[in-house]
Chain A
Amino acid sequence: MPPAEHFAAAPNWEWWILGYFFFGGLSGGSYAIGTLLRLVGAPADQRAARIAFITSFLALVPCPIFLTLDLGQPTRFINMLFDASSGGLAFKPWSPMSLGSWALLGFGLFSFVSFVGAVAESGWHAADPIARILRGTFGAAWSIIGTGLGFFVCGYTGVLLSVSNQPVWSDGWPLGGVFLASSLTGAVALLLLLARSRRDVDAGTAVRLELADRNFAILEIVLIAVFLVTVAIAGTIGKMAGVWLLLWVVVFAGLAAPFALSRVDAARRWAPVTAPLLGLLSVLALRALVIFSAQS
């Protein structure tokens, strides 16, 4: 198969987009982890679930700001949702950016309500009615739907890149899955980081989070491998070599850390935040190298 030829110009999506991809991924991933802990975790995991829901919303807050600031006409951000020429809704299911705008709006609602519920459970009694509503079957359904939207926010950013005619991006259809898996590893890393800074999180929860971290890391490594194969087949893998290899080192260091630091005795002397910090850097580095290398 001859290599793909690209003559497209770069869209110059840079730091704001990197920030959005990073925080959006952490937000969606944290919501999913919160739901998992709430629905299938042990009672001792519920504190960590609350932290996950709170983290999800706090990570989501900068996302629309970053996206708006990246626009050439920030005051027209609303055109993503409403068609300024026809007055109707701007909803194009085949355009990932359009679909993502609506998903972000929907996820924002779910994340906010779950955030309020989690804050209420943490002692803010003014919001107790919402916390009560979120208990039981309705709460479970709410979390599951929110998780679906959160997953979409994590993964559509990769699909958005691949639905283009840019080198690397359009050559690698698995990007959506790669970003989603990376969001899960990042969210667990963030939760571990926060859990270790608090005394009220059960030690067993941290152990289970570490296990989840390793599971998600394996998933991410497999998907990165598939992504690299697709890009190699297209003949554009060279775009991610050279100076970008430094970022690959960070990516794989972050993915290897949960395994290395749990097995190597010497590594146990490292600070317990080392693996989560490397994990978060890995999430950022992966997005940075995908975004910037293709446009270089």
Chain B
Amino acid sequence: MRRGRFLHQGRARLLAASALALALACGACDPALDVGSDVLWSARFEGGTFDEWTLVSGGGAEAFPVNAAMTNRIEVSTEQAHHGSHAARLSIDASSAGMQQNALLSRAGELPVAAYYSAWYYVPNRVTVGTFWVIFKFRQRSVETDGATAGELFDLDLVDSPSGGMAVVFYDHRLGRNVPLDVADAVAPIGVWFHVEAFYRNTQDATGRLTYWLDGRQIMDLTGQAMAPNPWIEWDPCNIGETLAPSPAVLFIDDCAVSRTRVGPDGLIAR
């Protein structure tokens, strides 16, 4: 009986030691608990198509005007990518003065009154801007249900910068002019992916707000004023320009998202 008791205690000790070792060994597994997402929509182009844009209501991907030489083009490319292996390549031939060229991705309608809009950009070469070069745009409608009343609202442009990069400027179509940013040295780099994000609360009273970040740094905060005349919103990551050199002017766009919370340069828009 005594021998049996010792055996029992020995087994108990062995069991405890084994369980403890197993627990400590597996305890370092650091399993993940995914509790959900505030990202309302995202596009990463990893499928090699623009389906993430074109298959949603109000979404689109287009380049115009269209000509025989197809100098304005959008395509999914593997030439550059922020994450994964694909990105959108937008190119326009804006060498002719007085002629606006367009290549854009768009989400219109069915967007929340307040949201964060973000995208990654890659400018492979320095571009000399003669008239304007828009990369990030919000549009409006004067009549919410009438597409024919659509018009421009806020643009984020790139212009030549003496520092060597492309300086970011803000154009308010309501005022018909550039509005100075809150910082003086908002410069987008050449040959490096950079992140542009905006918080847009499209209210028709003093609670309206528009805030921009460049690579996580806030560069402008427009508050205390009404925004569009109605809740309709169009957001366009784009390559729209006039009088640009060299031509074509090429821009890569990747990892676009609409989110309820800020994405930032370190954020994840998909798993």
Please determine whether chains A and B interact with each other in the same assembly: no
Residues of A with Cβ closer than 8 Å to B?
A: none
